[in-house]
Amino acid sequence: MMFIRKDNPAIMARYLDPKNDLVFKKIFGHHPELLKSFLNAILPLPQDCVIESLTYIPTENVPEIPSLKYSIVDVRCCDNHGRYFIVEMQLQWTNDFIKRMLFNTATTYVRQLEKREQYRDLSPVYGLALLDTKFDEGEEWFHHYQMTHSIDKNKKLDDVQLVLIELPKLKPTTMTQKKSAILWLRFLKEIDEKTREVDPSLLNAAPIKEALHLLEIASYDEVELMAYDREWDAVRSEKTLLSGRFKEGKAEGLAEGVAKGKAEIIRRLHRSGLSLEQISQAAELSQDEVQRIISSAE
């Protein structure tokens, strides 16, 4: 079944990839009803908990060090019992991904005290990461971390929880999760620039059909499409930095010159907007060395 645009039935819809930061934010950062549907489906919430409302957390509430903030969308949710909790969503993969995710989630938790005086008023925080790469060798694709008593596993602290989803491992035929979760995760995994046919089961779910419309290339202007391409360039470059192939060209020392391939990747990351700290960590060089390589091309 082909998804045909309503304004011109003769034109078949073409899509962008929802895992791109810009597109993800356009869907979930500007359409709270879609985000509410997505979170209710994906998060391991208590059985009696349903998100009824949410508000986006202003960007000024992020940590003071921009390079340590990888969130795409942060929201404060209220469930059907009047309980509040915060969800921080991430997409990007980094070399020290787990530590960065825990840092960001914990930072979101402690920063609540800036506006509150009592510890009892702190809301739980879920860190949710949707990964388009594998970080674990096992077959499990849904990872839920929370603090649990070392002996009595029924005793848990719910204040800071991490949820990691490895999309490449997703196998709809073996899943026992609720149907809405399956559909949303298939939407993220299956739809991209190569999509020419959309499964009817995705189109039959009203929230996902609306999200698909927001993925249409025709919904983006030239500036947005250029930003979309730059984002993927940055992601590809960072993955290259982290791969074993990158290290094959490692030079004996900076005095003898950094390998041409490595230096070019560093410059591309710089042009893509990554900070000196991010580049130096990925390249395993000091910030001064990274700055020297960047400056040598200017």
If you average pLDDT over each of 66-70, 143-147, 274-278, 291-295, which comes out highest?
A: 143-147
Q: State the pLDDT at residue 47.
A: 84
H helices within 121-205, ranges in order? 179-190, 200-203
Closest to 19 in 3D by CA, of 90, 95, 88: 90
pLDDT tens string 106-129: 888 888 886 656 888 888 999 898
Q: Do 69 and 104 contact (CB within 8 A), yes or no?
A: yes
Q: At residue 256, does pLDDT exceed 90?
A: no
**Tokens, residue 25:** 């934010």
pLDDT tens string 23-82: 998 999 999 999 999 999 999 988 889 999 999 987 554 444 344 445 678 899 999 988
Residue 191's identity, in one-letter code, is I
Band of pLDDT at residue 243, cut at 50, 70 and 90: low
Q: State the pLDDT at residue 298.
A: 57
Helix (H, G, I), strand (E, B) or coil at 2: coil
Q: State the pLDDT at residue 290.
A: 82
Rounded to two decimals, the pTM is 0.71
Q: State the pLDDT at residue 195.
A: 92
Q: State the pLDDT at residue 73.
A: 84
Chain Cα centroid distance, residue 26: 13
- For the segment 226-251, the average pLDDT, to the nearest whole number, is 66
pLDDT tens string 140-177: 899 999 999 999 988 998 899 999 998 988 876 555 55
Q: Which residues of 98-132 are buried (b: 16+ CB within 10 A; e: fewer)?
A: eebbebbbebbbeebeeeeeeeeebbbbbbbbbbb
